Amino acid sequence: MSICEEWELMHLTPQGWKDGSYRHAPGDAIEIAPPADDVLTVRRHVTAAYGGPSRVIEDRTPHTDDMALIERLLSAYGAPAFGV
């Protein structure tokens, strides 16, 4: 059974969501430096088996202790729009 693993990072900044590093099958990982002003990073990891089940995991890592700021930015810009 063939297994496909892809992942993508998105960074929340005061200007909105910014694309981060990613790996889309069948390519190699592309590394992109995070923006200096990111307040939250969300990583989506997708594991899929051809003809079988898929699994999606999202991890959120805050880069500030100001949770009110993160909540305001999430209200303004919504959820990240992943390509995987």
What pLDDT does residue 1 have?
Answer: 56
Residue 65 lies in a domain: yes
Cα(72)–Cα(33) distance, integer angstroms? 24
What pLDDT does residue 25 have?
Answer: 84
Number of domains into which the chain is organized: 1
pLDDT digits 0-9 by tens, 4-58: 899 999 999 999 999 999 999 888 999 999 999 999 999 999 998 877 888 999 9
Find the domain containing 32 and state its range.
3-77
Q: Is the whole model's pTM more than 0.85, yes or no?
A: yes
Cα(48)–Cα(68) distance, integer angstroms? 35
Residue 11 lies in a domain: yes
Element spanning 16, H or E: strand 16-23
Instruction: Identify whether the C-beta of residue 74 lies closer than 8 Å to the C-beta of residue 60.
Output: no
Cα(27)–Cα(14) distance, integer angstroms? 31
Residue 83 lies in a domain: no
